[in-house]
Structure 1
């Protein structure tokens, strides 16, 4: 049986000391190192695969402390506290003696309660009404996603843009049933907002990424391989850093995840 490229990229092997061994995937390479979304997904997968894991992910924060080199890496994941319905984790990715990535995660058991949604999905055309486009060929990881930009595609010519907002339909390519790991990776699908505002490529990279999960495993399974609507924008660019906030919706308007980043850039 042939694995989906994403499943190959996040595959982990348990080690004798309770950790996990993995390897970067060339198919998910970025301009420098691997795509941050797939690194975050791999860290989440380590907790999902841990024998002590309780429930489903509620939140994940990943701090990109240094570049991840191509090749093997080791992940350690340990629960620092387990309560009746929540569990808190500390995770590290190392290569040799160097820690390249740290993370914290909260997993939990969801209960049936009252609920409501105040955020409203943007009004957009259906996926089949939007043309497929993409990123330049040298950005390998983007070839693993079907991208249909409604607004805010990568600039094709150097010209400043008044808005940092990107909205697009997206799903894995080839199509793959949605789960927490792929939702984590999709939460980082938005290229740096400074590219759009300044109208050109610049040195930029995520320093810290947080994903909040608003759905349980059953909701993700019911979504199947359909598109997600993603939208992201920045509140402020200042002194070499900017924030980047995003949302991921089902076509029927259910909010599955929100994501927040702090991003470094060099002008």
Structure 2
């Protein structure tokens, strides 16, 4: 069976105690360097592959300290503390001996409790009723089937943007692949920069830090399978070279899988 392109890209080779070797993959190339969502997924995978891992991801934060160059890198995951049902991780990605990303991860052995969510999915057309987005400027975008309902990336950079940065879209891996924690992490970074929508100017920018809260457990991800995810994102504050956005991802049944918060820098 042919390995899915995502699995090939996120793969890590064990080289020591909690140490792994990975490499960037041209299928997930961005304008400069790799798609940040893939880098985040690779960092998360270092803990997912660790034999000492307790439970599944609950909260994950990755800080992009420097640009990751094309080629090999090393990932190290270590347990900072293990409690009865939770575990705290510190993860570091290095390239040529220098740190390019750091991350913290909380995993937990979840138990069944009362469950609910207050953030309801918006009323939108079904994915089969929405046209597939065909504009694909960079490689990593080709790895996803994206169907924008509202707030698509500007077609022309005329400096006349929208007053609202809300985006809603259906998305899934291309070709379809059952969602798991690593792919859900990557898809949490699929939202294009909000400042592009607000200003319609191709402003130079980059992600500084991204946090993903996993509301789904492993059973819910298995039930979601390779179905569509509904994504929604909106910017919050833009000031003095930095801005943030907050987003949600639901499955087709309306179950909240993850929320994500991201901070980016931008230049004039």
* TM-score (normalizing by structure 1): 0.98
Q: CA deviation at 1:18?
A: 3.4
Match of 1:106 in 2: 106
RMSD: 0.9
Decide whether aligned partners of structure 1 residues 130 and 93 sit closer, same or farther in structure 2, where only a CA change above 3 A counts: same
Q: Is the 8 A contact 2:18 2:46 kept in 1?
A: no
Q: Is the 8 A contact 2:136 2:142 kept in 1?
A: no
Match of 2:146 in 1: 147
Q: CA deviation at 1:202?
A: 1.1
Match of 2:155 in 1: 156
Match of 2:21 in 1: 21
After superposition, the C-alpha distances for 1:39-66 in whole angstroms (9 at most, x for unaligned) are 1111111101001000000010000000
Where do 5+ consecutive residues of structure 2 fail to align?
Answer: none
For 1:182 and 1:248, the matched residues in 2 are separated by 12
Match of 1:34 in 2: 34
Q: CA deviation at 1:17?
A: 4.3
1:127 and 2:116 correspond: no
For 2:109 and 2:2, the matched residues in 1 are separated by 32
Q: Is the 8 A contact 1:134 1:142 kept in 2?
A: no
SS at match of 1:15: strand
Match of 2:49 in 1: 49
Match of 2:136 in 1: 136
Q: Is the 8 A contact 1:61 1:103 kept in 2?
A: yes
Match of 1:184 in 2: 185
Q: CA deviation at 1:12?
A: 0.5
For 2:102 and 2:195, the matched residues in 1 are separated by 25
For 1:110 and 1:18, the matched residues in 2 are separated by 24
Q: CA deviation at 1:156?
A: 0.8
For 1:55 and 1:141, the matched residues in 2 are separated by 30
Aligned residues: 266
Q: Is the 8 A contact 1:134 1:143 kept in 2?
A: no
Alignment of 1:200-215 (within 5 A): 200-215=201-216
For 1:16 and 1:253, the matched residues in 2 are separated by 41
* TM-score (normalizing by structure 2): 0.97
Decide whether aligned partners of structure 1 residues 35 and 18 sit closer, same or farther in structure 2, where only a CA change above 3 A counts: same
Decide whether aligned partners of structure 1 residues 80 and 111 sit closer, same or farther in structure 2, where only a CA change above 3 A counts: same
